Amino acid sequence: MSFDYDLFVIGGGSGGVRAARVAAGEAGAKVALAEMDRYGGTCVIRGCVPKKLMVFASEFAGLPDEARAYGWDVSLGAFSWDRFRGHLDAELDRLEGIYRRLLANSGVTTFDARARLRDAHTVELSTGEVFTAKHILIATGGRPVRPDIPNAHLGIVSDDIFHLPVLPKSVLIVGGGYIACEFACILHGLGVQVTQFYRGAQILRGFDDEARGLVAEAMLERGIALHLGTNILEMTSADAAPQAGGMGADARDRGGLLPAGEAGKPVWVRDTRGHEGVYDAVLFATGRDPNTADMGLEEIGVGLGRRGEIVVNEYSQTGVPSVYAIGDVTDRVNLTPVAIREAMAFVETVFRANPTPVDHDLIPSAVFTQPELGTIGLTEEQAREREPIEVYCTSFRPMRTAFAGRPDRVLMKLVVSQATRRVLGCHIVAPGAGEMIQLAGIAVKMGATKEDFDRTVAVHPTMSEEIVTMRQPVRHA
């Protein structure tokens, strides 16, 4: 059977673009790609990249106080959201242009259109065009979701943050995952009064308990009003709020009025503790769902999971042999570098006759809170469920901020197998933890033992030297 293309990719994010350009440019396949929005996907346009630039911007707030402790006469003017947004938009335009050029230079035909599957080898575009392909790769990513509560449309989601016309003076962030915590720290650093609700007992569920506890303490110390075991009970626009006596002046007068959520007005909230408040914006960071709606997947036999994720095997292949899926749309490990690795494994498997399963074991990651959290491997809680372990851990005030009189603390932690001596997990809470965990991740991925760490000479004076100088376990489990 003759096809229009060897490969048709649906989705122009990091994973889809990598698969398309490598299949076309290096494997010699005839490839097309359809993207309904901006090229670069969540990571480049509305995720990792703009978020990290906002992290950088927010970190300048504390520099003058620290500089004065070191003898510098420094002051900081007001933060200009307009100026920052202008630079941000220009940078995202530049990066999107790079993605488009990479595809064009690799010989990939692109369509700025929405795509859905008509059958196992046929793609129909929103333009009305129809194409056939020997292989179809779905890389449509995910999207933030609002909770199922009345008036949730009054809130915003993470995608909206980068397009706010005015920076709010006050914000309520709902959620306790890494997106919620990162934006709490970012917005606080930019001068926004931040309140955060999380219904659970501690933020950053799934991360090491000791590490996430230190991040929570640091957020509270910096002035973020973090309320655990708390959720929204009721919300409405501020001008429609009940005239309840419980709304204190501090809640009523929290900030200037600006477009917030779909209503374009500040939002009144009553929480599960019975407290009330008015916020210029409510940010829901309560989860993400895979982008699989109305794509014709189930109609052709592609299996979907409970949250709409595409079910695939270890080679990213669906139940329909010609259809594959990678990235967040499969809800395996939702990280950009993982999607790129899955894309490369897909090309090896399909176009180079080299079946390559995706390796999802021991993936380093970072949470860009302030301080950052870097992690790889098992948490202490996970490890002790599997086997007897030793825990090596230290928490201290780092030299730089201790000299400036700040109370900041950092954490270095290794989880070690008693039987094999392998380092099962490494967890770092510190400025620059993301950079540190990338390098520590190499050793952990290679199967380094605690004695391998011990044999490594420390770089002094640094925070990270503690990773190789901890001699005695703090506990056995």
Averaged pLDDT, 25-30: 97
Q: What ranges do the domains of the chain cover?
A: 5-142+289-351, 152-284, 365-476
Which tens digits make up the pLDDT trace of 136-166? 999 999 999 999 999 999 999 999 999 999 9
Q: Which of these, 434, 257, 452, 427, lies nearest to 337 by C-alpha position?
A: 434
Distance, CA of 384 to CA of 210 (rounded, Å): 14
Binned at pLDDT 50, 70 and 90, residue 265 comes out as confident
As a whole number of angstroms, the distance between CA 235 and CA 253 comes to 17
* Assigned token pair, 451: 């004695």
How many Cβ atoms from other residues are within 10 Å of residue 317's Cβ?
A: 17
- 354 Cβ partners below 8 Å, 6+ apart? 348
Mean pLDDT of 298-305: 98
* Edge-to-edge strand list for the sheet holding 267-271: 232-237, 267-271, 276-279
Fold for the domain defined by 5-142+289-351: FAD/NAD(P)-binding domain (3.50.50)
Read off the pLDDT band of 246 (50, 70, 90): very low
438 pLDDT above the threshold of 70: yes
Whether the CA torsion 374, 377, 383, 389 is positive or negative: it is negative
CA 22 to chain CA mean position, Å? 25
Our answer to whether residue 460 is catalytic in this structure is yes
Whether residue 290 is preceded by a cis peptide bond, meaning omega within 30 degrees of 0, is: no
Pairing of strands 372-377, 365-367: antiparallel
pLDDT of residue 243: 67
Contact (CB, 8 A) for 40 and 46: no
Cβ neighbours of residue 217 under 8 Å, at least 6 residues apart? 409
pLDDT at 242: 84
User: Is the pLDDT score of 388 beyond 50?
Assistant: yes
Rg (CA), the chain: 24
The residues with which 174 forms a beta bridge, in sequence order, are: 197, 284
112: Cα within 13 Å, side-chain hemisphere: 5
Does the pLDDT of residue 261 top 50, yes or no? no
For domain 365-476, give the fold.
Enolase-like; domain 1 (3.30.390)
Give the pLDDT confidence score for residue 263 in this predicted structure. Answer: 41
Three-state SS at 104: helix
Q: What is the pTM of this model?
A: 0.94
Q: Which of 135, 275, 460, 476 is catalytic?
A: 460
Confidence label for 240 from pLDDT (cuts 50, 70 and 90): confident
Note the CATH number of domain 152-284: 3.50.50.60
Label residues 115-140 b or e (16+ Cβ within 10 Å = b).
bbbebbbbbbbeeeeebbbbbbbbbb
> Token pair 């303490």 is at which residue?
217
Lowest-pLDDT range, 115-129, 245-259, 280-294?
245-259
Lowest mean pLDDT among 21-30, 232-241, 305-314, 391-400: 232-241
Residue 371 reports pLDDT greater than 70: yes
Distance CA 398, CA 431 (A): 10
Distance CA 8, CA 16 (A): 10
pLDDT digits (tens, 9 = 90+) for 163-184: 999 999 999 999 999 999 999 9
Buried/exposed 398-420: b ≥16 CB within 10 Å, e otherwise: beebeeeebebbbbbbbbbbeee
pLDDT given at position 87: 98
Q: Which of 6-20, 178-192, 255-269, 427-441 has the lowest mean pLDDT?
A: 255-269
What average pLDDT is seen over the chain?
95
> In the predicted model, is pLDDT for residue 247 greater than 60?
no
For every residue of 41-71, DSSP letters joined together read HHHHHHSHHHHHHHHHHHHGGGHHHHHHHTT
Decide whether 152-284 matches 365-476 in CATH topology. no
Phi, psi at 154, each rounded to 5°: -75, -20
Res. 467: pLDDT tops 70: yes
Query: pLDDT at residue 1 above 90?
Result: no
Helix or strand holding residue 395 (H, E): strand 389-396
